[in-house]
C-alpha cells in the first residue's frame, strides 16, 4: 500500500498539541485539532473553546510556532464529543493529551471506532510504555500504532523520536521516518520503548548529575552554568537555566517519573529529587514562566541566583575561572571540551565529572534505549542542542586516555569499551569521505546511514571533487553538470576571496557546465559582508578601497543575475546583508524553512551596497 498523509488529526491542544498542529499546517498538511469540552461551560461559550483558544494563542506565542499566519487556515478546531466524525478522513491521528495512562487509554477507546482502517495512530507520550497504552487494542491497530515523540518547542527542536511497539509494522516505521525527515524537516531518532526514550533519558541524567555535583562541591547555579554551557559546547542555558526554561514543575515530573520507572538503572539515585527542588516547588519558584526560578532579576534588572542552601536570592557573580577563558579561545567544539575538562580548576573538575558520568551512562544505555551510537548522539544534538553527542565527545577527548582517567578516578568504566579499544581507537571514523560508526555487536565499523537525496559537500571535498578553491570558498562538482560555489569563511561572510570565487564559478558554468548552485553546509548561509574589512579601510581613509570592494561585489552579483546558465541559491539560517544580496541575484532560491533573511545593513548605518538596494527597488516596482 502506498501511504500518504493528506490530512492529520491532533488530539489535545495544549503546549505540544498546538505546536504539532502548527508544524503540520506549516508543512501544508490540513489538521483537525480536537480537545475536551470545557468542564464548566458557560452560557454562550463554544463547546470547542479550548481548541479554539489554543489556535488563537499560536499567534501570540514567542518564539512564533507558525511560519506565517496563513497556515492557521489549515487548522480546523473541534471537541472530543461532537467532532469525532472529523477523524474519519485523517491518515494520521496523534494523541497529545495529559500524561496519564488511564486517560490516554480511555481516549483511544473512544476514538478507535472513528479511525479510517488504514489510519496511523500515535502518541506523543514522554515515556508511558507502549504496552500499557495499547493493551486493549486489537492486533490490527497495534500494527498501525507507534510513539511519535516531538520536542518542545516543536518548530525549533529538530528531534522527532519514533518508537515502535512490539507489533508495529516495520514498513510503517520506514514511512514515518521518511515523512518526519522529508515532509516535517525533522531529525528522526529511532528509539526503544524504555522510560523517557533516548534524548530525555541521557539529557535528564546529564542535568540531574550536574545538580548533584553542584550540591556536593558547593557550586552556585551561575558557576555551573558558566561552565556547562557554551564552554562545553552545549546551549547557553546550560543546566539551571535549562531547568528555568523548561519549568521546574515539568522537570520535577520527568525526573520523578525517571526515578519511579528506572528501578534497575545503575544510576537511579541520580534521579532522586534534591531537597532544594522540593522547596522551590513549595515557594512557587517555577522558572521563567513566573520570572523566578534558579535565576531572577532585581528591580534594576541585575541577575540574581538562588542560594541553594538558604533559598534566598543573591547576586549571580560570574566565576573568574581559567577553563572558561581558555574555552573562549577555541572554536572547534570537541577541542573546546577537551581544553575545559583538562583544566585544573573548579570549573574543569565539574566539567570532567559531568562528562565522565554522562559518557559512561550513555554507553551503558546502548542496546537498551537505541541500537546504535548514532541515534543516541543525534538525540542529544537535535533534542538538547549539544554541538556533539556523547560518543562524538568521547572521540574528541580521546577514548583511551579518558577511559584511563576515568578508571584512575574510580569510575566504573563499562566492559563494552574494551570491544572498541581492541578493534579501533574511535567511535567514528571517515573512510573515503563516508562516516562510519563502531557497532559493538558486529565488532566492526558500519556506515552511518544517510538519506540518498542528500549530497555532503565535505565528502566531495575529500574525494577530489574540488574544481577550484581559495581561503573564501570552494567550487565543487556536484555531478550531472552542476557545480556548487560553497563559502567557508567565518560565519560565511562575503569578502574579496568569496567575490573572486563567485566570478570564477560564473566563468566555469558558462564555459563548460549546466548550472550553478550557491550553497554550503556551515551553520549559516551567510552573516553578511565582511564589514570589518570595510571599516578598517574607512577608518584609514582608503576610500578608493571601499569603492573597489563594493564595485567588485556589485559586479559579481550582476554576473550571477545575467549568467547564461541557471543559478540557484540555497539560503538557510542567517542570510543577512551580502548573503541576502547574493540570494536576490540568483535566478531561483530554494530556501530552507528556517531562513532568517534580510537587508539588515541600515542597522549598522550602511546601505545595502552589493546590489540589494537596486533589487529592492525592482521588486517594489514589479
- Site residues, ligand NAD (CB under 6 A): 12-17, 35-36, 50, 80, 96-99, 103, 107, 124-126, 152
Q: Tally Cβ neighbours within 10 Å of residue 361.
A: 20
CA dihedral (614, 619, 621, 622) positive or negative: positive
Q: Which residue is nearest to ligand NAD (CB)?
A: 14
User: C-beta of 67: minimal distance to ligand NAD in Å?
Assistant: 20
Give residue 430's Cα distance to chain centre.
24
Closest CB 371 distance from ligand NAD, rounded Å: 22
User: Is-cis flag, bond preceding 163, omega within 30?
Assistant: no
The answer to whether 210 touches 315, Cβ cutoff 8 Å, is no
CB of 22 to ligand NAD, least distance (A): 12
Judged by CB, which is closer to ligand NAD: 49, or 342? Answer: 49
Which one, 16 or 350, has the nearer CB to ligand NAD? 16
Which grid cell sits at 26?
506549516
Nearer to ligand NAD, 50 or 457 (CB): 50
- Of residues 164 and 586, the one with the C-beta less far from ligand NAD: 164
Q: Which is nearer to ligand NAD, 71 or 97 (by Cβ)?
A: 97
Closest CA to 392 of 455, 421, 353, 435: 435
Cα separation of 564 and 562, whole Å?
6
Cis peptide leading into 63, omega within 30 of 0? yes
| Minimum distance, C-beta of residue 101 to ligand NAD, in the bound complex (Å) | 10
- Give min distance, CB of 481 to ligand NAD, in A: 45
Using CA atoms, how far residue 354 sits from 268, 290, 333, 387, 606, in Å, is 16, 29, 17, 16, 46
Q: In sequence order, which residues have a C-beta less than 8 Å from that of residue 570 and are 6 or more positions away?
A: 517, 518, 519, 525, 589, 590, 591, 592
If the CB atoms of residues 207 and 494 are measured against ligand NAD, the closer one turns out to be: 207
Residues in the chain: 622
- Nearest-approach distance from CB 131 to ligand NAD, in angstroms: 16
Give CA–CA dist 487/498, Å, rounded. Answer: 7
Q: Distance between CA 220 and CA 184 in Å, rounded?
A: 40
Task: Give the Cα separation of 103 and 5 in Å (integer).
Answer: 26
**Cell 518547542 belongs to residue:** 153
Number of Cα atoms under 13 Å in the Cβ half of residue 364:
18
59/98 with CB nearer ligand NAD = 98
**SS3 per-residue string spanning 385-412:** CCCCCHHHHHHHHCHHHHHHHHHHCCCC
The CB-of-620 to ligand NAD minimum distance in angstroms stands at 43
Q: Name which of 96 and 369 has its Cβ closer to ligand NAD.
A: 96
Smallest distance from the beta carbon of 35 to ligand NAD, in angstroms? Answer: 5
Side-chain-side CA neighbours of residue 534 (13 Å): 23
Smallest distance from ligand NAD to CB 231, Å: 26
Question: 103 vs 618, which CB is nearer to ligand NAD?
Answer: 103
Provide the minimum distance between the beta carbon of 102 and ligand NAD in the complex, in angstroms, as a whole number: 9
Query: Is 174 exposed, middle or buried, given 0-12, 13-18 or 19+ CB atoms closer than 10 A?
Result: exposed
Q: Which is nearer to ligand NAD, 77 or 355 (CB)?
A: 77
Amino acid at each position: 500500500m502506498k501511504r500518504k498523509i493528506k490530512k492529520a488529526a491532533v488530539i489535545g491542544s495544549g503546549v505540544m498539541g498546538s505546536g504539532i498542529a502548527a508544524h503540520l499546517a506549516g508543512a501544508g498538511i490540513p489538521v483537525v485539532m480536537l480537545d475536551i469540552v470545557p468542564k464548566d461551560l458557560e452560557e454562550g461559550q463554544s463547546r470547542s473553546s479550548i481548541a479554539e483558544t489554543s489556535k488563537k494563542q499560536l499567534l501570540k506565542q514567542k518564539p512564533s510556532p507558525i511560519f506565517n499566519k496563513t497556515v492557521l487556515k489549515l487548522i480546523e478546531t473541534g471537541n472530543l464529543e461532537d467532532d469525532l466524525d472529523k477523524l474519519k478522513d485523517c491518515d494520521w491521528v496523534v494523541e497529545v493529551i495529559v500524561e496519564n495512562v488511564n486517560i490516554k487509554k480511555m481516549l483511544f477507546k473512544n476514538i478507535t471506532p472513528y479511525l479510517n482502517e488504514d489510519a496511523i495512530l500515535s502518541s506523543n507520550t514522554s515515556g508511558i510504555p507502549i504496552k500499557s497504552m495499547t493493551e486493549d487494542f486489537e492486533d490490527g491497530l497495534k500494527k498501525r500504532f507507534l510513539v511519535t515523540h516531538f520536542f518542545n518547542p516543536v518548530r525549533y527542536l529538530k528531534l522527532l523520536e519514533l518508537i515502535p511497539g512490539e507489533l508495529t509494522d516495520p514498513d510503517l516505521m520506514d514511512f514515518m521516518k521518511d515523512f518526519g525527515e522529508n515532509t516535517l524537516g525533522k531529525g528522526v531518532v529511532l528509539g526503544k520503548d524504555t522510560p523517557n526514550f533516548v534524548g530525555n533519558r541521557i539529557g535528564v541524567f546529564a542535568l540531574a548529575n550536574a545538580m548533584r555535583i553542584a550540591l556536593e562541591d558547593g557550586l552556585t547555579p551561575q558557576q555551573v552554568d558558566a561552565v556547562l554551557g557554551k564552554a562545553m559546547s552545549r546551549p547557553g542555558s546550560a543546566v539551571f537555566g535549562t531547568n528555568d526554561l523548561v519549568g521546574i514543575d515539568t522537570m520535577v515530573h520527568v525526573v520523578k517519573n525517571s526515578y519511579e520507572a528506572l528501578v534497575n538503572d545503575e544510576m537511579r539515585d541520580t534521579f532522586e529529587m534534591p531537597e532544594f527542588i522540593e522547596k522551590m516547588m513549595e515557594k512557587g519558584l517555577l522558572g521563567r514562566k513566573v520570572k523566578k526560578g534558579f535565576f531572577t532579576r532585581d528591580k534594576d534588572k541585575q541577575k540574581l541566583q538562588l542560594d541553594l542552601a538558604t533559598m534566598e536570592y543573591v547576586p549571580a557573580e560570574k566565576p573568574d575561572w581559567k577553563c572558561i577563558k581558555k574555552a573562549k579561545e577555541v572554536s572547534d567544539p570537541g577541542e573546546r571540551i577537551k581544553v575545559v575538562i583538562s583544566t585544573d580548576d573548579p570549573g574543569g573538575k565539574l566539567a570532567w565529572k559531568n562528562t565522565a558520568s554522562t559518557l559512561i551512562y550513555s554507553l551503558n544505555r546502548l542496546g537498551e534505549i537505541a541500537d546504535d551510537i548514532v541515534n543516541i548522539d543525534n538525540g542529544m544534538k537535535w533534542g538538547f542542542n549539544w554541538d556533539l553527542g556523547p560518543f562524538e565527545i568521547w572521540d574528541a577527548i580521546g577514548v583511551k586516555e579518558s577511559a584511563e582517567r576515568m578508571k584512575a578516578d574510580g569510575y566504573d568504566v563499562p566492559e563494552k569499551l574494551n570491544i572498541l579499544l581492541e578493534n579501533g581507537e574511535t567511535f567514528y571514523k571517515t573512510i573515503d569521505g563516508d562516516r562510519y560508526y563502531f557497532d559493538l555487536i558486529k565488532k566492526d565499523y558500519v556506515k552511518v546511514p544517510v538519506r540518498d537525496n542528500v549530497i555532503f559537500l565535505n565528502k566531495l571535498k575529500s574525494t577530489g571533487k574540488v574544481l577550484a578553491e581559495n581561503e573564501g570558498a570552494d567550487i565543487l562538482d556536484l555531478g550531472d553538470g552542476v557545480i556548487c560555489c560553497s563559502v567557508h569563511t567565518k560565519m560565511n561572510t562575503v569578502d574579496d576571496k568569496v567575490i573572486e570565487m563567485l566570478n570564477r564559478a560564473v566563468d566555469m558554468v558558462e564555459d563548460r557546465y549546466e548550472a550553478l548552485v550557491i550553497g554550503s553546509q556551515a551553520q549559516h548561509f551567510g552573516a553578511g559582508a565582511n564589514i570589518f574589512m570595510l571599516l578598517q579601510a574607512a577608518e584609514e581613509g582608503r576610500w578608493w578601497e571601499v569603492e573597489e570592494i563594493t564595485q567588485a561585489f556589485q559586479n559579481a552579483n550582476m554576473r550571477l543575475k545575467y549568467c547564461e546558465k541557471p543559478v540557484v541559491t540555497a539560503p538557510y539560517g542567517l542570510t543577512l546583508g551580502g548573503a541576502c544580496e547574493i540570494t536576490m541575484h540568483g535566478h531561483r532560491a530554494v530556501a530552507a524553512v528556517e531562513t532568517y533573511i534580510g537587508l539588515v545593513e541600515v542597522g549598522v548605518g550602511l546601505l545595502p551596497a552589493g546590489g540589494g538596494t537596486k533589487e529592492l527597488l525592482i521588486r517594489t516596482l514589479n
